[in-house]
Structure 1
Amino acid sequence: MEIRDIIKKVKQIEIRTRKKTEATLMGQYHSAFKGQGMTFSEVRPYQFGDEIRRIDWNKTARFREPFVKVMEEERELTMMLLIDISASMDYGTHLQLKREFVAEIAASVGFSAAGNNDKVGLILFADKVYKVIPPQKGRKHILAILSNILTAEYVPAEARTDVVLQYMMSVFKKKSLVFMFSDFEDEYDQKILRVAARKHQLLGMRIYDNKDNEIPDVGYALFQDAETGQQMWVNTSSARWRYEFAEKQKQKVKGVEEDFENASAGFMNINTGDDYAKLLYQYFRKR
């Protein structure tokens, strides 16, 4: 993709998402996440009505009278976009490729964050971390992030969501709002998922195409795994084979949803033809 094509595509995404962001998402984003984090401000003497759990026991013991910690809301958030660039994400049979759909959703949440004066960062990953853009503020920064998403070289490797979460936790210590985009087709370490969800506000976003869940009857066909390169012939005319494939996919998605739920993390299942703004709006309202 040439530079002028990239600029054109980024501008198109900005225009397409601007109305959704301003009219639908920005207000809900603000109310859902602003002020949820708390930072230490000062210590003062205990007053009637203060919460017991706010007592500073060290200072209370030293001065032999109760003191409490005063906390204040964090007015500035950091949003991290973790995006799977394994080959299975560079695919689509509906209106657009998964990668283009991800870029559009990333634009919506990114511009929502920018509109609330929050920082946004990007990590592109597959079997390892391939690119990191540190969190910054502003519209131009979001446009640069979109350009990187659209021009990323998608790699034939398994997506290790646990590897990118572990990396993020080691580099970005401050509690962040984390959007992780993937089709979650590959295995991961559930323990790391749980640890990440405790340290950050984590939302897993499974981006899928219709053909990820169900295979149509096209007779004998040669299938190739986009990530491993493994090939095999399949008789898609077999109703039993199609049924078993669909059931296997359902169970896999159900397992991922349960893993995120058990980790106290959010999870969304979004088809490339869905109205993602509506789904995000509903998710933000629930928070």
Structure 2
Amino acid sequence: METSELLKKVRKIEIKTRGLSRHLFSGEYHSAFKGRGMSFSEVRDYQYGDDVRNIDWNVTARTGTPHVKIFEEERELTVMLLIDMSPSSFFGTVNQLKNEIITEICAVLAFSAINNNDKVGVAFFANEVELFIPPKKGKQHILRIIRELINFEPKGKGTEIGATLEYFNNLVKKRSICFIISDFLSMEYEQALRVAARRHDVIGVNIIDPREENLPNVGLIRAQDAESGAIRWIDTSSQRLREEYARWHQNHLNYFTQTFRKSGASVVNIRTNESYVDALHQFFQQRS
């Protein structure tokens, strides 16, 4: 993509999503993720009335006088966006491709985070993590993320959510808010998700195109699997085939919902023929 065209697209997305994050989601984002816990700050001499449970016994033994640990509320949060850039995300039958909606959702979340003085990091993945951008603050950092979202071309085929979560678990040790934005057309990520959800606040954002849920009855069509590249003819006039396909998709949706909820993670389903603003608005309100 030409640089001038890329900058125009970045600017267009910035204007739309920054306005949403400032006017619609700023307060809701803070309310949804305000429970940040307490972090260690310093050690000082024990004073009358201090909680004895906070005594630092190592420092006390070393100095010979009682010392206590002081904790403070965590003010800064790290938001991680794990973004599915596999070929299946470059699909759409309504107004936008799935990856275009993913770009806008990520931009809204990122601007909401920096408005709250939080850091934002990103991992782009297909069958493996292809690009990692460490967490930082600031508008220029967010604009870089948007540029990558618009211009990124995955090298790999397929979708490996489990491997991506393992990468995330090994790399990010400090508790964070982790959004996984994908169409979740793969399975077998339960174990890695369970590990991630124990340490982090994990939210799965499932992007669904209505044509993926049900095949139209339009006779014989030539279809290509976006991730494997396999091409085959499908007789959509067969009711049995349409029913099998609908069950296949429903099984993936059920696996996504049940696996996330069983692990203690949250889920958001966003359909491309509906407003992602309404879906995020409802999610933030439920979390508040």
Task: Mark yes or no: TM-score above 0.5.
Answer: yes
| Corresponding residue of 1:29 | 29
**Residue 156 of structure 1 contacts residue 226 of structure 1 at CA under 8 Å; is this kept in 2?**
no
Consecutive unaligned residues in structure 1, runs of 5 or more: none
Range with bigger deviation, 208-217 or 223-232: 223-232
| Corresponding residue of 2:241 | 241
Q: How far apart, CA to CA, are the structure 2 residues paired with 1:216 and 1:156?
A: 30
Q: How far apart, CA to CA, are the structure 2 residues paired with 1:10 and 1:61?
A: 55
| Corresponding residue of 1:170 | 170
Q: Secondary structure at the match of 2:179?
A: strand
1:58 deviates by 4.5
Q: How far apart, CA to CA, are the structure 2 residues paired with 1:262 and 1:161?
A: 17
| TM-score (normalised: structure 1) | 0.90
Q: How far apart, CA to CA, are the structure 2 residues paired with 1:266 and 1:25?
A: 18
Q: How far apart, CA to CA, are the structure 1 residues paired with 2:6 and 2:268?
A: 28
Question: CA separation of 1:60/1:47 partners in 2, compared to 1, >3 Å: closer, same or farther?
Answer: farther
Identity %: 43
1:44-94 deviation line (CA, Å, top 9, x unaligned): 56849x6x9x5558579979xx98754321101111111111100011111
Amino acid in structure 2 at the alignment position of 1:148: E
| Corresponding residue of 1:256 | 256
For 1:1-287, list aligned pairs within 5 A.
1-42=1-42, 44=46, 47=49, 55-56=54-55, 58=57, 69-155=69-155, 157-287=157-287
1:278 deviates by 2.2
Consecutive unaligned residues in structure 2, runs of 5 or more: none
Question: RMSD value over aligned CA atoms?
Answer: 2.4
Range with bigger deviation, 34-43 or 106-115: 34-43
Q: How far apart, CA to CA, are the structure 2 residues paired with 1:191 and 1:46?
A: 47
Amino acid in structure 2 at the alignment position of 1:178: C
Q: How far apart, CA to CA, are the structure 2 residues paired with 1:15 and 1:3?
A: 18
Amino acid in structure 2 at the alignment position of 1:164: T
Amino acid in structure 1 at the alignment position of 2:152: A
Q: Secondary structure at the match of 2:167?
A: helix
Amino acid in structure 2 at the alignment position of 1:243: E
Q: How far apart, CA to CA, are the structure 2 residues paired with 1:217 and 1:264?
A: 39
Q: How far apart, CA to CA, are the structure 2 residues paired with 1:46 and 1:206?
A: 53
Q: How far apart, CA to CA, are the structure 2 residues paired with 1:261 and 1:250?
A: 16
1:148-203 deviation line (CA, Å, top 9, x unaligned): 01111134512111111111222222111111111111123311110001111111
Amino acid in structure 2 at the alignment position of 1:109: L
**Residue 34 of structure 1 contacts residue 74 of structure 1 at CA under 8 Å; is this kept in 2?**
no
Q: Secondary structure at the match of 1:286?
A: helix
1:273 deviates by 2.6
| TM-score (normalised: structure 2) | 0.90
1:142 deviates by 0.6
1:212 deviates by 1.1
Amino acid in structure 2 at the alignment position of 1:147: R
1:216 deviates by 0.6
Amino acid in structure 1 at the alignment position of 2:169: M
1:19-57 deviation line (CA, Å, top 9, x unaligned): 321121111111221342321235656849x6x9x5558
Q: Secondary structure at the match of 1:234?
A: strand
Q: How far apart, CA to CA, are the structure 1 residues paired with 2:271 and 2:104?
A: 13
Q: Secondary structure at the match of 2:221?
A: strand
**Residue 214 of structure 2 contacts residue 245 of structure 2 at CA under 8 Å; is this kept in 1?**
yes
Q: How far apart, CA to CA, are the structure 2 residues paired with 1:237 and 1:245?
A: 13
